[in-house]
Amino acid sequence: EDKVVQSPLSLVVHEGDTVTLNCSYEVTNFRSLLWYKQEKKAPTFLFMLTSSGIEKKSGRLSSILDKKELFSILNITATQTGDSAIYLCAVVHTGNQFYFGTGTSLTVIP
């Protein structure tokens, strides 16, 4: 059965800390992995990863994929209170089905 597992489920850090969020998957016919950030409402797209070892970066956020070990990490450096959100990982099957993880809830305390 295809599945996506995110860890930790929740995390509380202080402003300025660096955090690493994990996403492991067991999905046959992998096509890509996506990260989303969900604040109060709808998830918004962060990154799409298709190739191993190539880091995607946007400001203080970065992400990398390891297709051999079947996982991805999302790093956030120098966290701010505005980073508080649920971070969702989704793996896309070659049939274009999306499999979402349960998400990691990040709280950044001033």
Partner 1 sequence: NAGVTQTPKFQVLKTGQSMTLQCAQDMNHEYMSWYRQDPGMGLRLIHYSVGAGITDQGEVPNGYNVSRSTTEDFPLRLLSAAPSQTSVYFCASRDTGTSYGYTFGSGTRLTVV
Binding residues for partner 1, per CB under 8 A?
Answer: 4, 9, 31-32, 34, 36, 41-45, 48, 88, 90, 92, 96-98, 100-103
Query: Among candidates 42, 105, 101, 37, which has minimal Cα distance to 70?
Result: 101
Q: How far is the CB of 18 from partner 1 (least distance, A)?
A: 25
Q: How far is the CB of 29 from partner 1 (least distance, A)?
A: 12
Q: How far is the CB of 98 from partner 1 (least distance, A)?
A: 7
Between residues 17 and 86, which has the closer beta carbon with respect to partner 1?
86
Q: What is the per-residue burial (b if ≥16 Cβ within 10 Å, else e) of 71-90?
A: bbbbebeebeeebebbbbbb
Angle made by CA atoms 8, 13, 19, in degrees to the nearest 5 = 60
Radius of gyration of the chain from its Cα atoms, rounded to whole angstroms: 13
Q: How far is the CB of 92 from partner 1 (least distance, A)?
A: 4
Between residues 4 and 19, which has the closer beta carbon with respect to partner 1?
4
